[in-house]
Amino acid sequence: MIENRKYIIQFLIVLVGIIFLVKLFSIQVMDSRYKLAAENNVINKVVQYPYRGLILDRNHKIIVHNTPVYDIMVVPKEVNVPDTTVFCNLLNITEEEFIAKTQKAKEYSYIKQSLFYPQLSNEEFAKIQTRLVEYQGFYPVARTVRKYPEPVLANGLGYIGEVSKRQLERDTANYYKQGDFIGISGIEAAYEEELRGKRGVKYKLVNVRGIEKGSFNDGKFDTLSVPGNNLVSTIDLELQKYAEYLMKDKVGSIVAIEPTTGEILAFVNSPSYDPNLLAGRNYSKNFGELNKDTLKPLFNRPIMAQYRPGSVFKLVQSLIALQEGVVTPSTRIACNRGIINCHGSHSNEDLHGAIKYSCNPYFYQTFKRIIQQGDLDDFNKDARVGLTTWNRYLNDFGFGRKLGIDIPNESPGLVPGPTYYDYYYQKDHWNFYTIYSLSIGEGELLTTPLQVANLASILANRGYYIRPHMVKGIETTDSYYKIQYERQDTGIDSVHFTTVVDAMGEIVDGTARVARVKDIQIAGKTGTVQNKDSFDHSAFMAFAPKKNPQIAISVYVENAGWGGGVAAAITGLLIEKYIKGEVASNRAWVENYVMTKAYLNNL
Partner 1 sequence: MRRQDGIWNRVDWLLIAVFFILVILGWLNIYAVVYDAEQEQNIFSFDLNSGKQLIWIAGSLVIITAIMILDYKFFDSFAYYIYAVVLVLLVLVLIVGTEIAGNQSWFVFGSVRLQPSEFAKFATSLAIAKYFSSNNVRLDQFKEQIKSSLFVLVPMGLVIMQGDAGTALVFISFILVYYREGLPSFYVITGLSAAIIFILTLLVDQMYLSIGVIVLATIIIVINNKRLKNIGITILAAVIVIGVIQSVDYVISDVLKPHQQNRLKALVNPDADPLGYGWNVTQSKIAIGSGGTFGKGFLEGTQTKFDFVPEQSTDFIFCTIGEEHGWAGSFVLIILFLVLMVRIIVVAERQKSNFARIYGYAVAGIFFFHFGINIGMTIGLFPVAGIPLPFFSYGGSSLWSFTILLFVLIKLDAHRMQVLTR
Cα(324)–Cα(320) distance, rounded to whole angstroms?
6
- Using CB under 8 A, which of the segments 20-28, 253-261, 281-289, 467-475 binds partner 1? 20-28
| CA within 13 Å, CB half, 40 | 6
209 contributes a contact to partner 1 by CB under 8 A: no
Query: Is residue 46 within 8 Å of 225, Cβ to Cβ?
Result: no
Q: Is the dihedral of CA 122, 124, 127, 130 positive or negative?
A: negative
Cα(383)–Cα(430) distance, rounded to whole angstroms?
8
Q: Number of residues interacting with partner 1: please give it, by CB under 8 A.
A: 35
Cα(17)–Cα(580) distance, rounded to whole angstroms?
92
Of 462, 370, 448, nearest in space to 409 by CA: 448
Q: In the β-sheet with 537-544, what is the strand arrangement from edge to edge?
A: 263-270, 252-258, 551-557, 537-544, 523-529
165 contributes a contact to partner 1 by CB under 8 A: no
At residue 14, the 3 state secondary structure works out as: helix
Would you say 5 or 547 has its CB closer to partner 1?
Answer: 5
9 contributes a contact to partner 1 by CB under 8 A: yes
At residue 184, the 3 state secondary structure works out as: coil
27 contributes a contact to partner 1 by CB under 8 A: yes
For the CB of residue 222, give the shortest distance to partner 1 in the complex, in Å: 11
Q: What is the DSSP letter of 239?
A: H
For the CB of residue 165, give the shortest distance to partner 1 in the complex, in Å: 14
16 contributes a contact to partner 1 by CB under 8 A: yes
Helix/strand/coil percent split, the chain, to 5: 40, 20, 35
- Using CB under 8 A, which of the segments 2-10, 297-305, 349-357, 558-566 binds partner 1? 2-10
Pairing between strand 138-147 and 252-258? unpaired
- Using CB under 8 A, which of the segments 22-30, 401-409, 464-472, 513-521 binds partner 1? 22-30
6 contributes a contact to partner 1 by CB under 8 A: yes
Pairing between strand 263-270 and 252-258? antiparallel
510 contributes a contact to partner 1 by CB under 8 A: no
Tell which positions 570-599 bind partner 1, by CB under 8 A: none
- Residues 91-130, one symbol each (x = binds partner 1 by CB under 8 A, - = not), give --------------------xx------------------
5 contributes a contact to partner 1 by CB under 8 A: yes
For the CB of residue 177, give the shortest distance to partner 1 in the complex, in Å: 8
Cα(504)–Cα(353) distance, rounded to whole angstroms?
10
433 contributes a contact to partner 1 by CB under 8 A: no
Out of 59, 92, 164, 217, which residue is the one contacting partner 1 (CB under 8 A)?
217
603 contributes a contact to partner 1 by CB under 8 A: no
DSSP string, 149-163: SS---HHHH--EEEP
Tell which positions 30-69 bind partner 1, by CB under 8 A: 31, 33-35, 37-39, 41-43, 45
Out of 108, 175, 203, 535, which residue is the one contacting partner 1 (CB under 8 A)?
203
For the CB of residue 19, give the shortest distance to partner 1 in the complex, in Å: 7
Tell which positions 73-92 bind partner 1, by CB under 8 A: none
2 contributes a contact to partner 1 by CB under 8 A: yes
Radius of gyration of the chain (CA): 34
Give the interface with partner 1 as residue ranges (CB under 8 A).
2, 5-6, 9-10, 13-14, 16-17, 19-21, 23-25, 27-29, 31, 33-35, 37-39, 41-43, 45, 111-112, 203, 216-217, 221
